[in-house]
Amino acid sequence: MSSTPKKRPKSKHNSYSKNSSLNSILEPPQSLFPSKGEFLRLITVLAIASAVALSCNYFLTFFTSTSKPFCDSNLDPIDSFSDSCEPCPSNGKCYEGKLECIYGYRRHGKLCIEDRDIDETAKKLSESVEAGLCEAYAQVLCYGTGTVWVRENDIWNYLDRHNLMQNVGSDHTTYVYMKRRAMETIAKLLETRANLHGLHEFKCPDALAEHYKPLTCRFRELVSKHSLIIMLICAGLIGCAVLFLKVRQRMYISARAEELYNQVCDMLEENALGSKNVDGEGESWVVASWLRDHLLLPRERKDPQLWKKVEELVQDDSRVDRYPKLVKGESKVVWEWQVEGSLSSSGRRKKGEGIELKSNEGINTNINQSSRTLKTVDLQALGDCVP
């Protein structure tokens, strides 16, 4: 039998040495990367270099661009984009490399911008013309008098006489430019047409003329436009006012009639009691018309409804008799208080007043005493009139 040879085990020391040598080959040396201080110096150098490069580029571009002349205005548009010259800006004229802005514009760097003073003057001139034409047309719409269409020559003459044009010479180019700019603005705002002679005329638009109408005209148009609604509102307000006055008058008549009714009852009662105390020689009745004239104020006598309400209250009172009687040859309606078996009306009212005004008892006592004195004087005067 042949025996198989056994493999010799590898040594651990040999494997470790091989791994360490492999790692040393793969790892980069420590001197390959910069240190922290070197890294900061590198960033500083790069920043300074970038700043210098940008500055040089800016100054080079600036001096190079300003040194370029402007392309002539009469050149072909394709040739004007050449690197040897700058394109001539809009609203400018370029000749032999120089830029000159047209009237109404001023130079600002490589551009020509509008002159604010000239633009403001032209704007004010156009607004003045607009206001004049629209106010005249508004007068036509409101009152039927005024001018609707204005010729172009009249507007040119108006601009010549305007105060804003007095400071500019008539032969100056700016003077002509201002008027031309104003007319361009007017043509955009107003309506234009050509008359039979071929002349241009201007008119204020209807929508714009509405803003120039006087307040009286606007109010009249508003009333005429909504006349039905306004009439209904006025009728409703008048009806409410009349109803309120009637209710108020009715409440006043009711309150005043009740007050007069209480006075009539007091006077009839005291007159009846007084006639019994004088051995039946006095009259216990009182003429109703005399009571009316005695109690009512002069202005209250003109309203028959007030005393009619008092008569209705007296008629509903069973303590008062109403019957006709011949007095001095004339038939009169007299009122008489029924003394026998009737309750005192004045005592009942005084009791109610005492309950309602307990806190002012002393004041009420003085008032009742004064009222009794006045009633006694009134009854004496009335008794003198009764035969």
Asked if residue 337 lies in contact with residue 271, where contact means CB atoms within 8 angstroms, the answer is: yes
- Going by DSSP bridges, is the β-strand pair 285-287/200-203 parallel, antiparallel, or unpaired? unpaired
Task: Give the model's pLDDT for residue 179.
Answer: 80
- Spatial neighbors of 123 by CB under 8 A, at least 6 apart, are 182, 185
Sign of CA dihedral 372, 376, 381, 385: positive
Does residue 266 lie in a domain region?
Answer: yes
**Given 337, 354, 375, which residue is the final one in a domain?**
337
Task: Give the model's pLDDT for residue 12.
Answer: 45
Task: Give the model's pLDDT for residue 386.
Answer: 40
- Output the six-digit token pair for 280: 């039946």
* pLDDT, mean over the chain: 75
- 122 & 101 share domain: no
pLDDT-flagged residues of the chain (< 50):
1-8, 10-13, 15-16, 171, 347-348, 350-371, 373-387
Asked if residue 320 lies in contact with residue 265, where contact means CB atoms within 8 angstroms, the answer is: yes
Task: Give the model's pLDDT for residue 31.
Answer: 59
- 99 & 138 share domain: no
In Å, what is the CA distance from 211 to each residue of 130, 191, 206, 218, 249?
Answer: 12, 16, 9, 10, 49
- 208 & 121 share domain: yes
Task: Give the model's pLDDT for residue 61.
Answer: 64
- 121 & 204 share domain: yes
Query: Given the structure tokens 């009259």, which residue do they identify?
Result: 283
Asked if residue 379 lies in contact with residue 291, where contact means CB atoms within 8 angstroms, the answer is: no
Does residue 365 lie in a domain region?
Answer: no
Does residue 189 lie in a domain region?
Answer: yes
Does residue 348 lie in a domain region?
Answer: no
Distance CA 178, CA 186 (A): 12
- 168 & 191 share domain: yes
Residue-range definition of the domain harbouring residue 134:
116-213
Distance CA 192, CA 126 (A): 15
Does residue 218 lie in a domain region?
Answer: no
Q: How many separate domains does the chain show?
A: 3
- 122 & 207 share domain: yes
- 65 & 154 share domain: no
CATH of the domain at 184: 1.10.10
Task: Give the model's pLDDT for residue 82.
Answer: 61
Task: Give the model's pLDDT for residue 163.
Answer: 74
Query: Given the structure tokens 């392309």, which residue do they identify?
Result: 71
Does residue 379 lie in a domain region?
Answer: no
- 110 & 132 share domain: no
CA 346 from chain centre, in angstroms, equals 61
Asked if residue 165 lies in contact with residue 175, where contact means CB atoms within 8 angstroms, the answer is: yes
**Given 337, 356, 374, which residue is the final one in a domain?**
337
Does residue 346 lie in a domain region?
Answer: no
- 102 & 144 share domain: no
- 122 & 186 share domain: yes
- Output the six-digit token pair for 229: 């609604």
Does residue 196 lie in a domain region?
Answer: yes
pLDDT, tens digit (0-9, with 9 covering 90-100), for 311-368:
999 989 888 888 898 888 888 888 988 866 555 555 445 444 443 433 344 434 443 4
- 77 & 157 share domain: no
3 state SS for the chain: CCCCCCCCCCCHHHHHHHHHHHHHHHCCCHHHCCCHHHHHHHHHHHHHHHHHHHHHHHHHHHHHHHCCCECCCCCCCCHHHCCCCECCCCCEEEECEEEEECCCEEEECCEEEECHHHHHHHHHHHHHHHHHHHHHHHHHHHHCCCCCCEEHHHHHHHHHHCHHHCCCCCCCHHHHHHHHHHHHHHHHHCEEEECCCCCEEEECCHHHHHHHCCHHHHHHHHHHHCHHHHHHHHHHHHHHHHHHHHHHHHHHHHHHHHHHHHHHHHHHHHHHHHHHHCCCCCCCEEEHHHHHHHHCCCCHHHCHHHHHHHHHHHHCCCCEEEEEEEECCEEEEEEEECCCCCCCHHHHHHHHHHHHCCCCHHHHHHHHHHHHHHHHHHHHHHHHHCC
Task: Give the model's pLDDT for residue 345.
Answer: 57
Q: What is the dihedral of CA 242, 245, 250, 256, to 10 degrees?
A: -160
- 207 & 268 share domain: no
**Given 85, 114, 143, which residue is the final one in a domain?**
114
